[in-house]
């Protein structure tokens, strides 16, 4: 998570956004995790674990899962590890 926090701080003002979607079951634990991990981007959750509507909508089969969506709303990459994600974002923002 520290690498994602750094990536967000670097690119958040350059047409880049992260939306976090949690599969937590417990709202208090979810909120504590946001604070503990210093997550500053928007976070969503229905606290319904794997029955979550967001997980179903985006066919989430494992976590964490990254999904890159372009400004037109088209998924351009999914399932990238943090290092590949950083390279891809840097490539797209240039």
pLDDT 10s digits, 29-70: 999 999 999 999 999 999 999 999 989 988 899 888 999 988
Domain assignment present for 70: no
* Count: domains in the chain: 1
Domain assignment present for 31: yes
Q: Which domain holds residue 38?
A: 2-59
Domain assignment present for 51: yes
Given a cut of 90, is residue 1 above it in pLDDT? no
Domain assignment present for 15: yes
Confidence (pTM): 0.79
Domain assignment present for 52: yes
Domain assignment present for 81: no
Q: List the CATH number of the domain containing 13.
A: 3.40.30.10
Long-range contacts, 15-19 (Cβ 8 Å, 24+): 15/71, 15/93, 16/89, 16/93, 17/41, 17/42, 18/42, 19/43, 19/44
pLDDT at 26: 95
């Amino acid at each position: 998570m520290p690498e994602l926090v750094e990536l967000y701080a670097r690119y958040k003002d350059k047409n880049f956004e992260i939306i976090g979607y949690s599969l937590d079951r417990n709202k208090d634990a979810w909120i504590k995790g946001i604070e503990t991990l210093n997550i500053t981007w928007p976070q969503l959750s229905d606290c319904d674990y794997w029955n979550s509507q967001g997980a179903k909508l985006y066919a989430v089969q494992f976590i964490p899962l990254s999904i890159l969506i372009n400004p037109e709303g088209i998924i351009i990459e999914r399932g990238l590890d943090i290092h590949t994600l950083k390279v891809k974002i840097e490539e797209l923002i240039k």
